[in-house]
A = this chain, B = another copy of it.
C-alpha cells in the first residue's frame, strides 16, 4: 500500500534547483507547508483520469506511466515519466480534471503540491511563471514529437525507438531490465502484443539484442539506430 512519508524539506529536493530555482526561501517554505510526499509501490495508482485536480505532482523517485482507458476498456499509454519530467503534464493547468491515469511502474515517491499555492506564487512571481512555462512546454513538445514519430514508423522502427528510449533516456545503459511488460510496450507504441514479442525475437536473431525475460542487452546500437532511421 502507498503511504505518506515523513516529509523532508523542499530545500533537500531534487526539484529545488530545477523547477524552483526562481523561488526564494520564503516561497519554498510556503510550498513546503502545502505539500505531501507519498510512497507508491510498483503497480499502484497515483491518480485517476477524471478525478479533480488539486495538486501538481512531482515524481521524486521511480518511474510512472500515463494512460487513458478507452470504451473497449483497452488501455493506451501516452508516455513514461521519470523524475524531473513534470508528470502531471499540462492538463494540470488547462483542465479541472486529470486527463490521464498515472500509475507507478517502479516503486516511486511522488510529491503533491497544492496547485492553488503554486498558482499564487506564479501570479506573484513572473520570473517563476515564465520559467515554469518554458519547462512545461518542453514536456508537451516532447510528447507531441514522440507521438508523431511513432506514427510515421512501422513496427521495427517503433521497437527500435522503445529500446533506445529505455537505454538512453531512462537507464543510460546498454543492459537494463525492462520496467514494463510486452503488453505495455504494445499499448505505448500502438501495436499488438504478439508483434512486440515477435519483433524482439527478430532483433535477437539479427544479433541486435540479447533477451532474457525482462533483461535486455543491446549488442549493436548502431544497427539499432539504423533500423530506427529506416522507419
Q: Which residues in A have some Cβ–Cβ distance to B below 8 Å?
A: 68, 70-71, 76, 78, 89-95, 99, 119, 122-130, 132-138, 140-141, 143-145, 147-148, 151-152, 190, 229
CB of B90 within 8 A of CB of A148, answer no
Of the candidates B71, B124, B137, the one whose C-beta lies within 8 Å of that of A126 is B124
| CB of A76 to closest CB in B, whole Å | 6
Given contacts A126-B128, A144-B144, could you give 19 more A-B pairs where the C-beta distance is less than 8 Å?
A68-B148, A76-B152, A78-B144, A89-B141, A90-B141, A93-B137, A94-B135, A94-B137, A94-B138, A95-B141, A122-B126, A123-B126, A132-B133, A133-B136, A136-B137, A140-B140, A147-B147, A151-B190, A152-B190
Of the listed residues A95, A130, A144, A145, the one surrounded by the most CB atoms of chain B closer than 10 A to its CB is A130
Complex contact A144–B141 (CB within 8 A): no
Question: In angstroms, how far is the closest chain B Cβ from the Cβ of A85?
Answer: 14
Contact of A143 among B123, B136, B144 (CB under 8 A): B144
Contacts of A128 in B (CB 8 A): 126
Name the B residues within 8 Å of A148 (CB-CB). 68, 76, 78, 147
Q: In whole Å, how far is A80's beta carbon from the nearest beta carbon of chain B?
A: 15
Pick the contact of A140: B71, B90, B129, B130 (CB < 8 A).
Answer: B90
